[in-house]
Amino acid sequence: MVNTGDTAWILTSAALVLLMTPGLALFYGGMVRAKSVLNMMMMSFGALALISVLWVLYGYSMSFGNDVGAGLLGNPTEFLGLEGLMEDTTSETGGLPVMAFVGFQAVFAIITTALISGAIAERAKFGAWMVFVGIWVTLVYFPIAHWVFDFTLTDGDGVVTHVGGWIANNLGAIDFAGGTAVHINAGAAGLALALVLGKRTGFGGEAMRPHNLPLVMIGAGLLWFGWFGFNAGSAVAANNTAAVAWVNTFVATGAACLGWLLVEKVRDGHSTSLGGASGVVAGLVAITPACSAVSPLGAIPLGLVSGVLCALAVGLKYRFNYDDSLDVVGVHLVGGLVGTIGLGFLATSAAPAGVDGLFYGGGADQLWRQVVGALAVLVVSFVATYIIGLLIQKTMGFRINEDDELTGIDSVVHAETGYDFSALGGGGGSHTQEHALPSRPTRTARAAESAAPAEPSLFAASLPHRSTEGA
């Protein structure tokens, strides 16, 4: 029997999490310079498009297929194309249609990969990025999602019916919604790619300030909203755990925002809107792994620490001279570490996960599992991403050239510009040509044909490039 409550909540959560990626596009888009806003947003939309297809083809199977050995990878062919998953099997699987879970997990793969784009803003070839997305999600995300999110299942008689990944089952690290698989993973990958591509021309000298902070605020708001699907949806049911996760997510985010704003006020003299938006994300990141394991009172210090540490960590790129343009490392890697390792201290057995951390008398048992899980994902993601990035750099080239970068990646790579605010509009140009399919004549060509016998008008004579419109 289908459990309609669970199914409705998970399908809703999946849609909420999907909205996070367009939200991220706005969040990142507002932070770059005006000449790069479209490319920045397209990196998210490109990841959305490609991973949607790859997930159905083999991604779900690589992440949630039966383990092929040592908890490292799901069987890529078990659910190939999802062909076998359309039948209603809820009488055996406990109420939630498999396809609801397939959809919910798909959007995690997309947002994780899109997060990386902030580290290489304004300078990556769009084609190279798309190739990277396909390779990275296949070789890094799908396996790591298996490690972290795929739980071993047993039937009523204790017989194992499905074998999952090593972090979730063998190590026993707690990562409720993706502190390791999503945020540490994306943060480490962002650092690797920022190192492979190198700094933007003028980094550290020129003013590279955000061109549209209201876009950043809208984006942060959409991420915030969608994140309730991300965390509370990760209960994979409409139940008490989901409700606890919701409230923890809610309060940690507020605390982190306050933490970031306080650091700015004390250090710089002003609390900024960008700081507020960033603090929100820092809190959401940190509570992601921990939202089932801590109490609301534990979520407050966790969020606060994340807001403060991330606010300090975004300055590291200037000290160590790497151009992690939009602070994927400072926010997602650092926030992911705070949440994943912090729950080793702050977990309480009163919360749904039922484990005591160091501060609640549980000793270091959960703490070391958290540290091992976090470091494993960090190292594997960094090394694998560095190699993938380097291969793309050496073969097809990852960066646009310096002239194009100075001109602006939007106009060079996408033949568009984000804004036209001038009273004149259109940049003083005129409509020159329609790109239609070559097999059928374009409207302008047909118009020219039918107008041919007529006298050419004065307009046509004086403005030859617009002759068809004049005729």
Instruction: Give the shortest CB-360-to-other proteins separation in angstroms.
Output: 34
Instruction: Give the shortest CB-418-to-other proteins separation in angstroms.
Output: 19
Query: Cα(72)–Cα(147) distance, rounded to whole angstroms?
Result: 6
Contact by Cβ (8 Å): 157, 163: no
Instruction: Give the shortest CB-313-to-other proteins separation in angstroms.
Output: 10
Instruction: Give the shortest CB-210-to-other proteins separation in angstroms.
Output: 6
C-beta of 30 vs 46, nearer to other proteins:
30
Instruction: Give the shortest CB-37-to-other proteins separation in angstroms.
Output: 16
Span between the terminal Cα atoms of the chain, in Å: 68
What's the token pair of residue 360?
């609640």
Instruction: Give the shortest CB-213-to-other proteins separation in angstroms.
Output: 9
Question: Which amino acid appears at position 236 of this protein?
Answer: V
Instruction: Give the shortest CB-385-to-other proteins separation in angstroms.
Output: 23
Query: Cα(179)–Cα(288) distance, rounded to whole angstroms?
Result: 6
CA-wise closest residue to 302 among 272, 337, 273, 350: 337
Please list, in sequence order, all residues whose beta carbon lies within 8 angstroms of the beta carbon of residue 28, skipping any fewer than 6 positions away.
Answer: 40, 41, 43, 44, 117, 118, 121, 219, 326
Contact by Cβ (8 Å): 184, 340: yes
Provide the 10 A C-beta neighbour count for residue 267. Answer: 11
SS (H, E, C) 322-386: CCCCCCHHHHHHHHHHHHHHHHHHHCCCCCCCCCCCHHHCCCCHHHHHHHHHHHHHHHHHHHHHH
Contact by Cβ (8 Å): 25, 40: yes
C-beta of 28 vs 132, nearer to other proteins:
28
C-beta of 274 vs 380, nearer to other proteins:
274
Instruction: Give the shortest CB-417-to-other proteins separation in angstroms.
Output: 20
Instruction: Give the shortest CB-262-to-other proteins separation in angstroms.
Output: 13
C-beta of 125 vs 183, nearer to other proteins:
183
C-beta of 159 vs 207, nearer to other proteins:
207
C-beta of 421 vs 440, nearer to other proteins:
421
Helices 213-232 and 4-31: crossing angle in degrees, nearest 10, is 160
Q: What is the DSSP string of 388-427?
A: HHHHHHHHT-SBPPHHHHHH-HIIIIIS--S---SSS-GG
Instruction: Give the shortest CB-159-to-other proteins separation in angstroms.
Output: 53
C-beta of 148 vs 308, nearer to other proteins:
308
C-beta of 422 vs 432, nearer to other proteins:
422
CA-wise closest residue to 351 among 245, 464, 470: 245
Instruction: Give the shortest CB-268-to-other proteins separation in angstroms.
Output: 5
C-beta of 274 vs 412, nearer to other proteins:
274
- The torsion angles phi and psi of 6, rounded to 5 degrees, stand at -60, -45
Instruction: Give the shortest CB-315-to-other proteins separation in angstroms.
Output: 5
CA-wise closest residue to 112 among 93, 140, 149, 71: 140
239 to each of 104, 251, 255, how far by Cα in Å?
16, 19, 25
In terms of DSSP bridges, do strands 153-154 and 160-162 run parallel, antiparallel, or are they unpaired? Answer: antiparallel
The length of the chain is 471
C-beta of 122 vs 327, nearer to other proteins:
327
Question: Where along the sequence are the contacts to other proteins (CB under 8 A)?
Answer: 207, 209-210, 264, 267-268, 270, 272, 274-275, 278, 311, 314-315, 318, 327, 330
C-beta of 213 vs 390, nearer to other proteins:
213
C-beta of 143 vs 275, nearer to other proteins:
275
Question: Which amino acid appears at position 11 of this protein?
Answer: L
Q: What is the DSSP string of 437-461?
A: -TTS--HHHHHHHHHTTSPPPHHHH
Query: Cα(277)–Cα(260) distance, rounded to whole angstroms?
Result: 9
